[in-house]
Amino acid sequence: GDVHYLAKTLVVVSVYLVQIVQEWRTDVMMVTPWLAPIVWDGSFNIDILNAQFHQRGVRIGLTVFAIKKYTVFLKIFIETAEKYFMVGHKVCYYVFTDRPQDIPSFSLGEGRTLNVIEVTSYKRWQDVTMRRMQIISENCLKRFIYEVDYLVCSDVDMMFAGHHGVEMLSDVFAAIHPGFFQASRKQFTHERRPESQGYIPEDEGDYYYTGCYFGGKVEEVYKVANFCHHAMMADKAKNMEALWHDESYLNRYFLYYKPTKLLSPEYVWNNYYGSPVYVKIKRFLHVDKDFEKIRSN
Ligand code: 2GW
Ligand code: MN
C-alpha cells in the first residue's frame, strides 16, 4: 500500500543521503565483522565529532618513549603532533625517557602540556620496547586516570603528516599494520608457538595490528598494557619471547578482546609500502632511521 511505498522510498533516500554525506566507500572494508568502524578518509564528519567531544570537554593523553638515542626523534614527533594531533582539544603529552636533560623545550598550542617522566633504561632493546607496556599500565593507575579521558600510545620514530582527530577515539582502538592490510590470515606474522602467551592459532586472527599505535579510555588501555606486560613476564620465566615482542602480545589481546574501533593504514603508514590508491591520505609516517647508528649503544 501507500505506507509501504513511502517507507521504501524513505529508506532509499536516506541510504543515498548517508552515502553522499559520508562518502561511503566500496573500495575498502569500512566495518569489522563485529561491527567496529574502520576509520577511513571520508567515513566521518569531523565537525559533528568535534562538537560532541568538545561538549564532553575530553582530555587526550599521548604517550611516547624516547630511550637512549631515540631522543633524537622527539623534536619532529612533537612538532608535527602540534600541527595535526587533536588540534583544538586538550592534549597532554607524556614523554618517558632516561635522558631528561636531552629533551628540548617545545612551544605548545593552547590547552596542551608536555610532561617528561624519567624512567630507567634496559640493556636489551627488546626489553626497551616491551617494558613500555609495564610503564604504561603503572602510569594508568598512578596518574593517567586522574589527568586524561583517553590515551593514545605511540612509537616515537614517527611523524604526523595529516589530520589525527577525535574520529580515532573509542573505548579501545587498534591500527591495522600497513604491511598487512591486504594480506590473508595465513600471512599474518602472529606468534604461532602454543607455549607462548602471544600464541594465535593458524586459523584465528582477524587483522594484523601494529604495535606502534593503539589507545582508548584509560581503563581499557590499562587492561591492554597490563595483559601484555604479564604475558611477556610469563614467557620470560620460560625463557621465551614472542616473535614480534610487544606487538605479538598486543595482537593476542585484541583477538579475544576485540577493539571497538580500527584505524585504517592511513593512520600508520610506511613509505616502504609505496602509495596504493586506497590510502588517500598518509596521516602518520615511519621516519627513516639509520638502524646501525640509532640502535647501537
Ligand atoms: C628499539 C630497537 C632496537 C634498538 C633500540 C630500540 C629503542 C626503542 C630504543 O633504543 N629506544 C626507544 O625509546 N625505543 C622505543 O621503542 C621508541 O619509542 C620506539 O619507537 C619503540 C619501538 O622501537 P622501534 O621504533 O625501533 O621499533 P619498530 O619501529 O621496528 O617497531 C615495531 O616493532 C616493535 C617490536 O619489535 C614494537 O612493537 C613497535 O611498537 C612496532 O612499531
Ligand atoms: Mn617504530
Who's near 97: CB < 8 A, 6+ residues apart?
A: 65, 66, 67, 71, 103, 116, 117, 118, 119
Residue 120: inside a domain: yes
Q: Is the CB of 168 under 6 A from ligand 1?
A: no
Residue 244: inside a domain: yes
Please give the tally of structural domains in the chain: 1
- 297 residues of the chain, pLDDT tens digit each: 788 887 887 777 776 666 555 667 888 999 999 999 999 999 999 999 999 999 999 999 999 999 999 999 999 999 999 999 999 999 999 999 999 999 999 999 999 999 999 999 999 999 999 999 999 999 999 999 999 999 999 999 999 999 999 999 999 999 999 999 999 999 999 999 999 999 999 999 999 999 999 999 999 999 999 999 999 999 999 999 999 999 999 999 999 999 999 999 999 999 999 999 999 999 999 998 877 777 776
Q: Is the CB of 191 under 6 A from ligand 1?
A: no
Residue 12: inside a domain: no
Residue 103: inside a domain: yes
Residue 14: inside a domain: no
Q: Where are the alpha helices (H) located in the chain, listed in sequence order?
A: 2-22, 46-55, 74-84, 125-139, 145-147, 218-237, 246-256, 291-295
Contact (Cβ atoms closer than 8 angstroms) between residue 22 and residue 42: yes
Q: Whose CA is nearest to atom 26 of ligand 1?
A: 157
Cα 101 to averaged position of ligand 2 atoms, centre (Å): 22
- Residue 153: CATH number of its domain: 3.90.550.10
Residue 289: inside a domain: yes
Residue 9: inside a domain: no
Cα 21 to averaged position of ligand 1 atoms, centre (Å): 39
Cα 155 to averaged position of ligand 1 atoms, centre (Å): 7
Tell me the sheet residues that pair with 63.
Answer: 94, 153
Amino acid 15: pLDDT: 65
- What cell does 142 get? 598512578
Exposed (0-12), middle (13-18) or buried (19+): which is 240, by Cβ within 10 Å? middle
**Known catalytic residue: 247?**
yes
Q: Is the CB of 211 under 6 A from ligand 1?
A: yes
- What cell does 43 get? 567515513
In whole angstroms, give the CA distance from residue 129 to residue 97. 12
Residue 196: inside a domain: yes
Task: Give the residue numbers spanning the domain of 142.
Answer: 25-295
SS3 helix, strand, coil % of the chain, rounded to 5?
A: 40, 20, 40
Catalytic residue among 118, 247, 266, 292: 247
CA within 13 Å, CB half, 267:
30
Which residue type does 66 have? A
